[in-house]
Structure 1
Amino acid sequence: MRRLIARVKADLGDLSVEEQAQIAEAVAVVRRSRTVLLGMPRIGQPLPNVRPRRFT
Structure 2
Amino acid sequence: MPRYEKSENKPEADEFTKRGTVIIAGIGRFGQMVNHFLVTNNIKTVVLDQSVDQVAD
For the superposition of Structure 1 and Structure 2, which TM-score range results when normalised by the shorter chain?
Answer: under 0.3
Counting helix residues as a fraction of each chain, which structure ranks higher? 1
Counting strand residues as a fraction of each chain, which structure ranks higher? 2
TM-score (norm 1): 0.28
Tell me: higher relative CO, structure 1 or 2? Use CA pairs within 8 A at least 6 residues apart: 2
Q: Which has the larger radius of gyration?
A: 1
TM-score (norm 2): 0.28
